[in-house]
Structure 1
Amino acid sequence: MSSGKLRGRIVAATIAAALLACATIVAVAFLHEPPATETPDPKPPATDRVIRDDLVQNSSIDGQLAFQGAKEIKAQKSGVLTWVPKTGKVLEFGDKMYGLDGAGVYMLEGEIPAWRDFRKKMSDGPDVRQLEESLSRLGFFPYRIDNHFDDYTERAIKNWQESIGQTTTGVITLGQVQFVDGKLRADEQIAGLGDQIGPGSPVLKTTDNTQAVKTDISEDQQSAIKVDAVVSIDLPDGESIKGTIAKVGAPAEKPDSNGAKKTIYPVTIALKDRDFVADTPSAKVTVNIQTILRSKVLQVPVESLMAQPGGGFVVQVLRSGGTTDEVSLQLGTFLDGQVEIKKGALKEGDKIVVPSI
């Protein structure tokens, strides 16, 4: 073979080898090349709705659960104190309130305090009518009630005295009964057993048989707190019960924690379910009050507001087809992440963009 042909074959072989190497490099590069990534679609903007609702402010204040109507029971005659009811006992009409010289002093119903003996030939008066009404409720006076003490009154007294084990004299001397308007709860003994007491001496501290919560509210809360408004009350054991505002008292001045005077309004809250506190005569509680600052107003989230360079705020309203319009607003009350819309081309249910979500 000639040298020229030999050189030609060598060149051809070299070119073929080079081409094969390039193909291999290309194939390897193709196999190791990462797959092409698709550009994700832009994330749609977060949105919320325009609503119409109350703007409600929640506040919590300290309160005191206690029995109401504290009063002292005072003796109307002299004697040695021989019996008192147990603390917490509820006294009803006809019950013995306390004992003097071994005899009971009994509770009758009425608003007029006893001020004289009840006996024949006493002058007429509304206190006689009150006695007959009370004896009637106890079942001892089935006659016509009037202001006159007569044989029927005497007979009713004797029947009542017999029922409680007293001598049937037909006479009630001053100090043997006390007239009270409503049930009482024995709260605290003042005089000790064996003490010699006289007319006007305090014997017992009592309350009404009604528990309630008392608290104070500030001047800025007073305008929004209404009688019969419902509140929730957190008890020491973790339970929560409902109550209603029964009374908002006259303003009074009270020093704050720094000694500065502030105006407060005393509030009494009636309990809706007293069974939860039947075993808790007194306790510190927390009163949770909801105050409606604005009623049934258009609102948007504060996060949807966009400040404008020249002042003021707009929101972006999302229209059908995905377009947005900027709507200028006049704002009202801010509360808990919401803001009242006083003026602006918005309506309840509009979908608005919330850029910061």
Structure 2
Amino acid sequence: MSAPATAPPGGPPAVPDEPPPTRAGGRHWPRRLAGVAGILVLAATGLVGYRYVDREPTEPRPVAATLPTRPVTRSDLVSSVQVTGRLGFAGTYELVGQAAGTVTWVPRPGDVVGRGQRILGVDLRPIPLLYGPVPLYRPLAPGSSGADVRQLERNLVALGHADPAELTVDTSYTEATARAVRRWQHDLGVDETGTVAPGDVLTAPGAVRVGEVDPLIGQRLQPGSPVVTGTGTGHSVRLDLRLSYRPLVRVGQAVRVQLPTGGTVDGTVTTLGSTVQTSSSQAQPGGTAAQSGGQPTGCQGNSCPQTVPVEVRIDGPESRLGGVFEGTVTVVFPAQTRRGVLSVPIEALTVGADGAYAVVLVAPDGSRRTVPVETGMFTSGRVEVSGAGIAEGDAVEVPTL
């Protein structure tokens, strides 16, 4: 038994402790249930009230998608023809020597020999390279005349051995020519005779990138022997152009050349063949020297299109090629030009209910209207458009941008 509770002095009478309520089995109810029971009683008597509000989840209202726009522009449109070709070094040279003697020096494959530089050595005598289309086929001395004399004088002036004010470049070998030759021979370290013999030089249209050297050092050389084969230092593309495209191409025409790297360089058509040939399904062998035509050729079964050969010179420095000097490239020939026309991205075109083309114009305030248009040239992702309701600077929707 517990002792009866006593009130503290001056306080309220003590309430004897009561055991907490129990449920069957002697287990005690939690004290907080007493409070819950009280709330239930108050609710039953109407002293406590509540309201249930049914709130649905709030979702954002859909907003109309804003499509990208692009302006209507006025410019020149150019359609084109693309032809695959083979990039390589321009020109193929095979130089034939006219000197007799023992070979004492040869260049290495890959060397580039320019005007006035040694390209062969015979009996310890340097054989320099001169530029020009005419090989030195005869001795030249005062009194000689001809195209080979003009060629020699041009080289002497270019090398700085003759003053143009002193030496007139023409077809006559004069004393002024002889003086310039002696100055040139002095710089070469050979006998200063003032005359030039056929075996004294080799000629080529320009600088030569050495490919192969035929004679070995120590080999006995005879006049008329091939000595060096190589190419020019520039680059060109050779291709087989379909005969039906020939009216679109002309010598001197500017073109674009697409490189394997993805870049492009400028080019100029230098030769346009007049001999029709039938394309083969395979390029001709020969590597850089042969400059085989591009693939594919468009053959269908045993039927191959007729073509003409075309060569395109690469313009600009070699560095623009990005280190790609040989390989398959694409030449883009402009075929038709439309000057000062309105155009939009091709993706801007829609088809109206009547099946005609239209575009959607977007005003500065965001309003939209569909305008029918007439289409013209399609090229480079754009299309020529015209119509009463469209003008330069208008904004058109382009759904797929």
TM over 0.5: yes
1:51 maps to which residue? 72
Contact 1:242 1:273 in 2 (8 A): no
Q: In structure 2, how many angstroms separate the alpha carbons of the residues matched to 1:335 and 1:139?
A: 52
Q: In structure 2, how many angstroms separate the alpha carbons of the residues matched to 1:274 and 1:198?
A: 37
Kindly provide the amino acid, as one letter, of the partner of residue 200 in structure 1.
G
Superposition pairs of residues 45-194 of structure 1, within 5 angstroms: 46=67, 48-49=69-70, 51-53=72-74, 63-119=85-141, 123-128=144-149, 130-141=151-162, 143-145=166-168, 156-194=180-218
Kindly provide the amino acid, as one letter, of the partner of residue 253 in structure 2.
V
Q: CA deviation at 1:245?
A: 2.0
1:345 maps to which residue? 389
Compute the TM-score of the two structures, normalised by the length of structure 1.
0.68
- Per-residue deviation, residues 23-50 of structure 1 (Å, max 9, x unmatched): 96x72x42xx124758837626646355
Equivalent residue pairs, number? 330
Q: CA deviation at 1:301?
A: 5.1
Compute the TM-score of the two structures, normalised by the length of structure 2.
0.62
Contact 1:50 1:347 in 2 (8 A): no
Contact 2:255 2:331 in 1 (8 A): no
1:200 counterpart (208, 220, 224) = 224
Kindly provide the amino acid, as one letter, of the partner of residue 118 in structure 2.
K
Kindly provide the amino acid, as one letter, of the partner of residue 384 in structure 2.
E
Superposition pairs of residues 279-318 of structure 1, within 5 angstroms: 282-284=325-327, 286-287=329-330, 289=332, 294-295=338-339, 296-299=341-344, 302=347, 305-308=350-353, 310-317=354-361
Contact 1:243 1:269 in 2 (8 A): no
Identity rate, percent? 24
* Residue segments in structure 2 that go unaligned for 5+ positions in a row: 1-41, 281-296
Q: CA deviation at 1:70?
A: 1.6
1:40 maps to which residue? 61
The reply on whether 1:209 has 2:233 as its aligned counterpart is: yes
Kindly provide the amino acid, as one letter, of the partner of residue 283 in structure 1.
E
* Residue segments in structure 1 that go unaligned for 5+ positions in a row: 1-15
1:228 maps to which residue? 254
- Per-residue deviation, residues 175-211 of structure 1 (Å, max 9, x unmatched): 1223444333323213444444433321111322323
Comparing 166-175 with 148-157, greater Cα deviation is found at 148-157
1:328 counterpart (372, 391, 401) = 372
The reply on whether 1:245 has 2:271 as its aligned counterpart is: no
Comparing 292-301 with 342-351, greater Cα deviation is found at 292-301
> Cα 1:20–1:93, aligned 2, differ >3 Å: closer, same or farther?
same
Q: In structure 1, how many angstroms separate the alpha carbons of the residues matched to 2:189 and 2:322?
A: 33
Comparing 66-75 with 248-257, greater Cα deviation is found at 248-257
What's the C-alpha RMSD, in Å, of the aligned pairs? 4.6
Q: SS at the partner of 1:163?
A: helix
> Cα 1:347–1:94, aligned 2, differ >3 Å: closer, same or farther?
closer
1:6 maps to which residue? none
Q: In structure 1, how many angstroms separate the alpha carbons of the residues matched to 2:171 and 2:398?
A: 79
1:12 maps to which residue? none
Q: In structure 2, how many angstroms separate the alpha carbons of the residues matched to 1:267 and 1:278?
A: 21
Q: CA deviation at 1:116?
A: 1.8
Q: In structure 2, how many angstroms separate the alpha carbons of the residues matched to 1:38 and 1:17?
A: 36
Q: In structure 2, how many angstroms separate the alpha carbons of the residues matched to 1:162 and 1:276?
A: 39
Contact 1:62 1:284 in 2 (8 A): no
